[in-house]
Chain A
Amino acid sequence: MIDTIKQKISGLLSDASVKGVVALKTANGHVTPCVFQKEDDLDMLSLGDMQASGDTRYPLNKVLITIARQYPDDVFGVLVRGCDERGLYTLYRLNQLDPDKVVPIGFCCPEELAKACECKKPYPDDPVAGEKTKEIFQNRMEEIEGMDISKRFSFWMDQFSKCIKCYGCRNICSMCFCRECSLECEDLVSKGSLPVDIPVFHLTRAMHMADRCIDCGLCEEACPSDIPLRVLYKKTSRIMNAEFGFTSGIEKQEKSPLSMLGPAPDN
């Protein structure tokens, strides 16, 4: 699979259709986000599978935003899995990236990773490499949904109380690009004190993720307290789907119901 992707990137660089390709490389025994600008460097290309499939994924879309803000007129390639592509579609929708300036280089996740992520679309629309696998059933969410309401409430409050307020969930998130963040608004979250305000801190973020979260799971992997954040955002995303038939990042052109003005939905 990696050779097919190398060839694809090599082609894009040699005919100068992109200025660079945002991807991952292995250097000094670590996987690092990087930008390939020369074909010779492609020996170092990594897909983010160090010990297990997808264990060294990084927010490449976030790297792309950083670069695109500085080089708005140039075209860049970016390595994408299914989740990253959902991220790209969401960032196009939110005017953070220009689809004419991005060349996605997609590949499918193996079933093993799709299962670990309980991913609803473990492949990009037009993959360069890999086989498309099936949508995975959301076991983790069903388990929590199955608790009665008081047990579920105490489960989440216990989880939230472990928070050390590192803001890692926000910082790692490619969908968190705002220059001013509600989680730093003193009317919502008190400044300079611990423990963090619960459940306000986490639910504020969950609300903001409702039409943005593309379920990549990087927040949960970055959480030093092992809070099951991914399940929380899967839930807000499920509400969006149930109420409005909308799932963030699935359809390239689709607008978010939360960004439209109009009559209330009749339900």
Chain B
Amino acid sequence: MDYRNTLTTCTYCGCGCNLFLESLDGRLTGTIPCKTGPVNEGKLCIKGWNVHQFVQSGKRLTKPLLRKNRKLEEVSWDEALDFIASRLKHIKAADGPDAVGFFASAKVTNEENYLMQKFARAAIGTNNVDHCARL
């Protein structure tokens, strides 16, 4: 038997609430707010309370998909990344950087979101950056 509570930070917004991800034998079983976390002091909002759910969601994409002949098909990471790079280059050259938009995610870390906006602004050259939590 392997029961654990892993201390981590909620990904859903920038407040930085501390919580424990509760797991039993390698499967997530719940979220417990951390009472000694200075930000949230043992409290969470409804999103934080359910933050463990998306990890094991059956709806989660686990492999890259590429639309071919109007149908999504499973492809390798190499093929998916080659396609993204070539299309981004092509669109930027043909219509300018503002023809591209970047959507970040509430289900990744702050650092990963930072990289996403940095890539948008520095590599592509657009400020078209948005996030699913700002709906």
Interface positions of A (Cβ within 8 A of B): 19-20, 27-35, 37, 50, 55-56, 58-59, 63, 66-67, 70-71, 74, 164-168, 171-172, 221-224
Residues of B within 8 A of A56 (CB): 35-36
Residue numbers in A under 8 Å from B113 (CB-CB): none
Q: Which residues of A contact B34 (CB under 8 A)?
A: 30
Please tell me if the beta carbons of B36 and A168 are within 8 angstroms of each other in the complex: no
Those of B1-25 within 8 Å (CB) of chain A: 1, 3-5, 7, 18, 20, 22, 24-25
Q: Which residues of A contact B49 (CB under 8 A)?
A: 166-168, 171
Tell me whether A32 and B7 are in contact in the complex, defined as CB-CB below 8 angstroms, given that A20-B1, A67-B24 are known contacts: yes
B35 close to A66 (CB less than 8 A):
no
With a cutoff of 8 Å between Cβ atoms, the chain B residues found around residue A35 in the complex are: 1, 3
Q: A58 to B32, Cβ gap below 8 A? A: yes
Interface flags for B102-120 (1: CB within 8 Å of A; 0: not) read: 0000000000000000000
Closest to A33 in B: B5
Choose, from B40-48, B59-67, B79-87, the stretch at the interface: B40-48
The residue from B5, B22, B36, B45 contacting A29, defined by CB atoms under 8 A apart: B36
Q: Which residue of B lies closest to A32 (CB)?
A: B5
Task: Please state if B5 and A34 are interface contacts (CB–CB under 8 Å).
Answer: yes
Task: Flag if A31 contacts B1 (CB, 8 Å).
Answer: no
Known pairs A56-B35, A221-B35 / 11 extra A-B pairs, C-beta < 8 Å = A28-B7, A32-B7, A34-B4, A58-B35, A59-B32, A70-B24, A168-B43, A171-B31, A222-B43, A222-B44, A223-B43
Chain A residues within 8 Å of B35, by CB: 31, 50, 55-56, 58, 221
Which residues from chain B contact A172 at a C-beta distance below 8 Å? 32-33
Contact partner, A31, options B4, B25, B36, Cβ 8 Å: B36
- A141 CB to nearest B CB, Å: 23
